[in-house]
Structure 1
């Protein structure tokens, strides 16, 4: 039965999509069956899987959410679960932004995504949810559906500032909506170990949070290869297997599985 993991942070530009993509392929290369869910209206993860026109896909996560809200039967998974190089994914589109607004008026809105993913648990080892950069209805839905959350943090001052607020949100959701939700850990991404600021902020994360929630031993280094791989619609492992970030994501996957 799959473990559902949300990759989340209210801040943008902290490596959520990159982590979802590369963690998925790293787990796949370990022989595990993985489903990823693009739960961001920007559809960046969908694009990373080679879909050039996400808005033209017949059935995406926004359509499924609408069916759930209208209490209609979902189609067979084969009609909306796509696959790319061995990793399955449920695509997104700009329509998800409309769903975000509708959820605010919906009774039991927090459980819609969970209703979509629960029937798929038996088919996978891991289900990874790529979330949007906000603390709105969509992120709450993702956290309500998840067993665990990985919090990606870019060790830059502005990216660090919202971490405490996000931790409070996770705590509230665990108490009020999803009692099984746990924090797998904080993953430091885009780390430039050459700068003093990066070193200071990494130490700050360990000092302030490691006693409260785990901080993964693996951190993801900043490298131009990551941006290049995203541009070409590939994981870093596919694009440049020897790149430091690719090696780091493989180590991170091993660390996650060992938990």
Structure 2
């Protein structure tokens, strides 16, 4: 039998006037890509002017495709009500401690929130430094932390409502806190089925509520960090402008490549962010050159460097990021530029090409 493949779009003009729908051009582009991916031939499209969104197959059969039998592919357009964008999950990762992971994660989360993005910060380090910067006075008195939530998933217990444990910080960021209990996670994951996806299971329960979820990671590779890389869409790698910090990048990239190749194929590196930079010293210049020579052809390197400043450490005493504590400080200004660079379209294309 000769079948006719028809792709049917029903467009609400009312939604289009209010700017809530994808344009016809964008929808056709999406459909064409879908058809190509699934090796379908597109013979016809039909655009309906009715104000009511829906599919009327009887009308389609009668008016559009009366000649031949057909393979009917319904396609519902996207409107604001129907489409809930999921969060982009960015992990701030380095196997070495003291390279500015927490400063980068908390500051980036703050700046994204400041720019109007719904942002959550997951403290995934047992030291709880992100929680402390975010205003938690004593992390070990917390009843519910990220470790508590993951334990419940491991034990197949229901999770509490997010509003009962997410801390709404003064900076506008929603915090999922941590404390020293997280150091037991490696052991707790030992005999768990699909243990590499426990964090993903948790994040799936909250990601529809946010535009960005930033994960501040612990400084070591193991089952918890494999969980992070399985969960994340992308990673940022802060590295201090010192030789030992730079040398650890090669090992981290090996782990990234293994996970990206075998498990999380969509994982990509946003870039290497050089932190605690002293641009006027010979050592910083040499290390920066070493990083450029060794990694520039493999992964993106952010043009923005974060300069060394004692005020970054001082801001922690006031439970603030450097951008809140002293926005005119050179490090704060650099973090603003870094965020601009991260969100820029040109950076996104560069990161995608390097994946």
For normalisation by structure 2, the TM-score amounts to 0.72
2:146 corresponds to 1:84: no
Q: Deviations over 1:229-249 (max 9, x none)?
A: 112210111111100010011
Q: Which residue does 1:128 correspond to in 2?
A: 214
Corresponding position of 2:160: 75
| Residue from 81, 92, 110 that aligns with 1:25 | 110
Distance 1:79 1:140 in 2: 28
Matching residue of 1:191: 277
Shift of 1:140: 1.1
Alpha-carbon deviation of 1:105? 2.8
Q: Alignment partner for residue 220 of structure 1, among 270, 289, 306?
A: 306
Counterpart for residue 286 of structure 2: 200
Give the distance between the partners of 1:118 and 1:210, measured in 2 at CA: 33
- 1:109 deviates by 0.9
Are 1:98 and 2:150 counterparts? no
Give the conservation status (yes or no) of the 8 Å contact 1:114–1:144. Answer: yes
Q: Partner of 2:143: helix, strand, or coil?
A: coil
Contact 1:191 1:221 in 2 (8 A): yes
Which protein shows a greater Rg?
2
C-alpha distance after superposition, 1:78-136 (max 9, x if no partner): 11211112111100011111112221332211101111112222211110000000011
Work out the CA distance in 2 between the residues paired with 1:65 and 1:118: 12
Q: CA deviation at 1:177?
A: 2.2
Match of 2:136 among 48, 51, 60: 51
Aligned residue for 2:301, secondary structure, equals coil
For the pair 1:164 / 2:250, whether they are aligned, the reply is: yes
Aligned pair partner of 2:227 in 138, 141, 162: 141
Q: CA RMSD in A?
A: 1.0
Find the aligned partners of 2:212 and 2:343 in 1 and give their Cα distance: 10
| Aligned counterparts of 2:309 and 2:155: Cα–Cα separation in 1 | 45
Equivalent pair of 1:131/1:138 in contact (CA under 8 Å): no
- 8 Å Cα contact 1:39/1:92 also seen in 2: yes
2:100 paired residue among 9, 15, 19:
15
Matched, 1:109 2:195: yes
Distance 1:199 1:231 in 2: 31
Q: Distance in 1 between matches of 2:188 and 2:161?
A: 24
The whole-number CA distance in structure 1 between the counterparts of 2:232 and 2:199 is: 9
Higher alpha-carbon deviation: 34-43 or 231-240: 231-240
- Whether the 8 Å CA contact 1:22–1:249 is kept in 2: the answer is yes
Normalised to the residue count of structure 1, the TM-score between the two structures is 0.97
For structure 2, the residue ranges without an aligned partner over 5 or more in a row are: 1-85, 349-355
1:152 Cα deviation after fit = 0.8
